Structure 1
Amino acid sequence: MNELEGLSHTEVPLPAVEALEQTIRQVLDLASERGATAAEAGLTLDQGLSVTVRLGDVETLEFHRDRGVGVTVYYGWRKGSASTSDLSERSLAETVEAACDIARYTHEDDCAGLAPAELMAREVPDLDLYHPWHIGPEAATTLALRCEQAARELDPRISNSEGATLSSHEGLRVYGNSHGFVGGYRSSRHSLSCAVVAAEDGRMERDYWYTVSRRPDALEAAEAVGERAAQRTLRRLGGRKIATCKAPVIFSAELASGLFRSFVAAVRGSNLYRRSSFLLDQLDHAVFPAFMHIHEQPHLPQALGSAPFDSEGVATRERDLVSEGILRGYVLDSYSACKLGMQTTGNAGGVHNLTIDSNGPGLDGLLREMDRGLLITELMGQGVNIVTGDYSRGCAGFWVENGEIQYPVEEITVAGNLRDMFRQILRVGSDVDLRGNIRTGSVLIESMTIAGD
């Protein structure tokens, strides 16, 4: 997408990080003057452009520019929080005063407070996260139109479109607390997506594709995104049900991240101290096969989940959540760590580039290894119970025989228990999807219940 670099746009440039760090220091000083024993504050500023086209016409064109400051103060074990989108001195003073008033009337909580001072990020490394896209609405519209047109013209069976959307966003985040830590960084995120509908023999199917990156020149070409969306839609035509059975299952890479998102939820501190997780008391126990390695890589340059520190100022670091199939660590912020009698893992705000190492070939190789079973390419519903691990979701995909796709399937449900599903993972493919914060290839599971006719 290099042809669009350098085009003008009307957005206001982001301010310098240092200027907003001074705003955070001002807020912390105001809290101290009002007698707070500790305080923390965060400032975010986001701006961007988004355009959606449908059937060759512009459907929406949006510019946005949002900002806000949130402050939390502590009086001993009492906590109060307030926020504002007005960065004037008067508004900041009123916001701090509101947080102090709230704190004076809240109940004491012996886990309320800042993360430990010794865990603060001493340095803020440059992770190369900021690549603004100087693109105006006309150029953005042209790109989205090219994407949708490529999808609609690929095959006469493409009968309708849900549109193509181009988005370009950039932001700045600054956090500080009364330990003396103040840090900030800029970031950007750009994406292009397309969804279309195909019709044949009176039946319709839809599918989509998208590309996302910190860098605009790293996005897939507009025509490639549209054609991929159309191809994915066309291959779903002629879907059928299958008989209820138990069979091996492959979750395609873009869906496999959801399995590990459920794993993260099960080892999240808030669920553990409330004892609402199916992985309670499993630390240092095997929860995956011995080949499984799940780890955080928070400092990968340009990666979508990279961050130098978490939302409490704690330095992020590489660490294992699972090695040799054994659960080695939880996902904790300072509050949940206190509740569990542990130390924060630097995960206030979530995990950072959670990586599931591959031990198998790409998707085609996994299909051959599976031989017979179900490839899942779409999931529906919210049938995941983190307390019990029960898993039941509507799905669509393809039936596989002799290691090759035979026909599309639809109107079926796949079910199991996450505890069993994790232990029955046979392969993690090399077709790693890098378009999110969880980086995994397709996942082959030994057996699941497939409910059909």
Structure 2
Amino acid sequence: MSDFNRLRSLTEQLLTAARAAGADQVDAVAVDAASVSVDVRAGKLEHAERAEGVEIGLRVLLGGRQACVSASDHGARTIAEMAARAVAMARETPVDDTLGLAEPSELTSDTDSTALDLFDPSPEPTPAALQEAALRAEAAALQIAGISMIESASAGYSARRMWLSASNGFSAGYGRTGHSLSTVAITGTGTGMERDWAGETRVHGADMPAPEEIGRLAGQRTVERRGAGKPPTGSFPILYDERIAAGLIGHLVGAVNGSAIARGASWLRNDLGEAVLPAGFDLIELPHLPRMPGSRLFDGEGLATRRRALVQDGVLQGWTLDLSTGRKLGMASTASAMRGVGSPPAPGVSNLELSQGNRSREDLIRDMGRGLLVTSMLGASINGTTGDYSRGAAGFWIENGQISHAVNECTIAGNLRDMLLRMTAANDARDWRGMKVPSLLVEGMTVAGA
């Protein structure tokens, strides 16, 4: 992969070309990325893929107008054409007075991401090593009694370096790596077929669990789903397993995103300073955790990131804002801008952690008596403005405080505002998760089954 000097040079060339073309303000991104993935099935290599290249992106601002362009070619002629095209596009867009770069005084001076340890210095794993890891996971899953086949076992690696420069004087970058391994297993045949999976991702390969651990877990989860049927219809407590509980909290995170708030398209748009979770719950953003894929010292507009409470003691503390949405709402940016090569900044979050409870998942199962433990979800009908919620689900039926049998083909429904205020948390949140959330029990939801 190219070093940072080349990426920085490309962004500087883009800035120079855009200013020469007439732009008032400019920022530019250069990304050098490589990825390799391997899939195996039935003990043999099924698919291998590698992708690599350098992409460049340019954003120009001209009198309150904005345009973004990107390219995978980065020759001098292409850069000049990108700048001219971007300025011409910007002249045709509507004026938005909230657009603009950060003031130089707002920019962070701490841009050395070394302490976050986001780039694995070990040699890139070879395709043969990735294949071996996938084969080991597949073999471990097949050793679980009741597994009829492995749908897929996949291993992958990625490495990415990014540099961001802007006409306000900001210039910095960082690198990030990723290792992944997953297995999908199947039990049964025909209409009685059920599947489940397990997978892990890490920044550093040394932090990955053994392939056998992932394969065994996929196999165990799958055989537990044998004989699944529809649950009864009615109002029951729902326990969101730790595997999917982060998705429930993700709806809250989306509802406090400044883009949704500025459009008036959020069911929490009037709830700043109000209770949105039960008392005692905190939802904290932690962007400086070492070796975590979401960590970053600065956001996509050059502002310093920091620890931030979205919710404290159940009360909503603020929105997730970039510069533009903050200006629309008369607030300061929360240093939450995310930036793609071909898109303008938009608000987003990094690592999140929800308060855990003091009881185990098994305690919550025992106390819920009769209801549904959800371990996977599919499809969604969610109204972002009202919070009305309906999703397909599968998992296990709970009877007399114990897991009775697997269930599938059911729908669970409620309203997110009411659901989140009726939550009880277990103590089983796992490390190495971008959104660290335990199993969550929600009282009084509607289950549509048999």
The two structures have a TM-score, normalised by structure 2, of 0.93
CA contact (8 A) 1:115 1:344 kept: no
Equivalent of residue 235 in structure 1, options 219, 224, 228: 224
CA shift in 2, pair 1:116/1:430, >3 Å = farther
Aligned length: 438
The alpha-carbon deviation at position 201 of structure 1 amounts to 9.5
Query: What is residue 70 of structure 1 aligned with on the other side?
Result: 57
Instruction: Give the residue type in structure 1 aligned to 2:139.
Output: Q
Equivalent of residue 388 in structure 1, options 386, 389, 393: 386
Instruction: Give the residue type in structure 2 aligned to 1:143.
Output: A
CA distance in 2, matches of 1:203, 1:435: 34
Q: Is 1:452 aligned to residue 449 of structure 2?
A: yes
Instruction: Give the residue type in structure 2 aligned to 1:181.
Output: F
Query: What is residue 135 of structure 2 aligned with on the other side?
Result: 145
What secondary structure is seen at the aligned counterpart in 1 of 2:30? Answer: strand
Equivalent of residue 83 in structure 1, options 56, 65, 70: 70
CA RMSD of aligned residues (A): 1.7
Q: Is 1:409 aligned to residue 407 of structure 2?
A: yes
Query: What is residue 276 of structure 1 aligned with on the other side?
Result: 265
Deviations 1:154-209 (A, max 9, x none): 21x21122110000001011111111001100000110000011017961100000
CA contact (8 A) 1:254 1:433 kept: no
The alpha-carbon deviation at position 89 of structure 1 amounts to 2.3
The alpha-carbon deviation at position 130 of structure 1 amounts to 0.4
CA distance in 2, matches of 1:385, 1:379: 17
CA shift in 2, pair 1:41/1:201, >3 Å = closer
Equivalent of residue 106 in structure 1, options 93, 115, 130: 93
Where in structure 2 are the equivalents of 1:176-187 lying within 5 Å? 176-187=165-176
CA distance in 2, matches of 1:260, 1:330: 15
Q: Is 1:222 aligned to residue 211 of structure 2?
A: yes
CA distance in 2, matches of 1:66, 1:19: 13
Query: What is residue 351 of structure 1 aligned with on the other side?
Result: 349
Query: What is residue 321 of structure 2 aligned with on the other side?
Result: 332
Instruction: Give the residue type in structure 2 aligned to 1:430.
Output: N
CA contact (8 A) 1:133 1:216 kept: no
Query: What is residue 95 of structure 1 aligned with on the other side?
Result: 82
CA distance in 1, matches of 2:313, 2:220: 38
Instruction: Give the residue type in structure 1 aligned to 2:301.
Output: E
CA contact (8 A) 1:248 1:370 kept: yes
Single out whichever of 339-348 and 415-424 deviates more from structure 2. Answer: 339-348
CA distance in 1, matches of 2:359, 2:55: 46
CA distance in 2, matches of 1:412, 1:31: 54
What secondary structure is seen at the aligned counterpart in 2 of 1:361? Answer: coil
What secondary structure is seen at the aligned counterpart in 2 of 1:383? Answer: strand
CA distance in 1, matches of 2:29, 2:441: 42
Query: What is residue 3 of structure 1 aligned with on the other side?
Result: none
The alpha-carbon deviation at position 134 of structure 1 amounts to 2.5
Instruction: Give the residue type in structure 1 aligned to 2:125.
Output: I
CA distance in 2, matches of 1:264, 1:80: 28
Instruction: Give the residue type in structure 2 aligned to 1:103.
Output: A
Deviations 1:106-133 (A, max 9, x none): 2322112113433322112321010155
CA contact (8 A) 2:286 2:353 kept: yes
What secondary structure is seen at the aligned counterpart in 2 of 1:148? Answer: helix
Where in structure 2 are the equivalents of 1:299-318 lying within 5 Å? 299-318=288-307
Equivalent of residue 171 in structure 1, options 160, 163, 166: 160
Q: Is 1:24 aligned to residue 11 of structure 2?
A: yes
CA distance in 2, matches of 1:365, 1:306: 33
Query: What is residue 126 of structure 2 aligned with on the other side?
Result: 136
Single out whichever of 78-87 and 205-214 deviates more from structure 2. Answer: 78-87
Unpaired segments ≥5 residues, structure 1: 1-13
CA distance in 1, matches of 2:265, 2:95: 24
Single out whichever of 98-107 and 271-280 deviates more from structure 2. Answer: 98-107
